[in-house]
Amino acid sequence: MGGFINSQADAEICAVLNRRFSDDVNAQGQTYLDELRQFFQQKENLFNNNHKLNRVYHRLAISVTGGPSVPKTKNSRLRWFHLLKGNLPAAVDKAIRGQLTAILSPASPANPAGGVEYVIFSTVHMQTTTGDQFELFDKNSLVPTVLSDANGKSYCAIILECNVDQALPDAPGENDPPTSDGSTVEKGPVPFAKPKPIKPPKKPPPKKHAKKSVKKASKKAAKKTAKKVAKKAPSE
């Protein structure tokens, strides 16, 4: 396997996307994926051709982190922004848009991906069928494959395959963060994926009555014992 795929930067990117497209539950009781679907279907189509993938990725990432960009190392971040900004093979760019559009669109018999419970993202070093440096599983298909995990949950896997074991080229002139796609395209920030707060367990009330009952029981027992002793004692 290659030494550059899966790199630390790749792992950071996949981790934040896995969280954004997860079945974790937010403060409103929705899963993070369903929250994103609602934004996509009702407010903004994130993956049409008016959007640059580097900008969309950045917005998705900060909706999880609450602000910090990913990857944390600037050079790695700029390389990935540059790759996603129109520097992937055209078929890969199209496949990413197609698969994620299907996942975020309403579920139907023709689009089962719209009903999956979560999505996993990964990168892998392997030979591509096209011979290009990059390819999206499976063979740059526009339709994501629906899978089932060991618990019976449905999911899709977005896997970027790379057949070249080398670092991405430096991109010192890349904008960080990526330039906005414009107010006519972007309809506000992607909803912040805030987890549902966990309520602390309620503390049991102080056992005041129990203490009193114990004291009363002790006094009664003491009185009974005293009476028994008194009866047994010899009279003068």
- What is the DSSP annotation of 14-59? HHHHHHHTS--BBTTS-BHHHHHHHHHHHT--TTSTTS-HHHHHHH
pLDDT of residue 5: 72
Output the CA–CA distances (angstroms, integers) from residue 34 to 24, 29, 99, 101, in the order listed: 10, 10, 16, 13
Instruction: Kindly report the backbone phi and psi dihedral angles of residue 38, in degrees, each rounded to the nearest multiple of 5, phi listed first.
Output: -60, -45
* pLDDT of 126 strictly over 60: yes
Q: What's the pLDDT score for residue 214?
A: 53
- What is the pLDDT of the chain when averaged over all its residues? 89
Q: What per-residue confidence (pLDDT) applies to 41?
A: 98
Higher pLDDT residue, 188 or 228?
188
pLDDT of residue 62: 97
For residues 225 and 219, the answer to whether their CB atoms sit within 8 Å is no
What is the pLDDT averaged over residues 95-106?
A: 98
What pLDDT digit, counting tens, does each position of 193-207 carry? 888 776 666 666 666
- Contacts of residue 129, defined as CB under 8 A and 6 or more positions apart, other chains included, come to 135, 139
- Is the pLDDT at 2 greater than 90, yes or no? no
Confidence band of 6 (pLDDT split at 50, 70, 90) = confident
CB 116 within 8 A of CB 154: yes
- The number of residues in the chain equals 236
What are residue 37's phi and psi, to 5 degrees?
Answer: -60, -45
Report yes or no: 149 and 112 within 8 Å, Cβ to Cβ. no
**Beta bridge partners of residue 111, listed in sequence order:** 108
Query: pLDDT at residue 232 above 70?
Result: no
Report the distance separating Cα 162 and Cα 79, nearest Å: 15
Q: In one letter, which amino acid is 120?
A: I
Give the pLDDT score at 39.
Answer: 98
CA distance 89 to 181: 21
Rounded Cα distance, 161 and 9, in Å: 15
| Whole-structure pTM value | 0.82
- Encode 152-212 in three state secondary structure: CCEEEEEEEEECCCCCCCCCCCCCCCCCCCCCCCCCCCCCCCCECCCCCCCCCCCCHHHHH
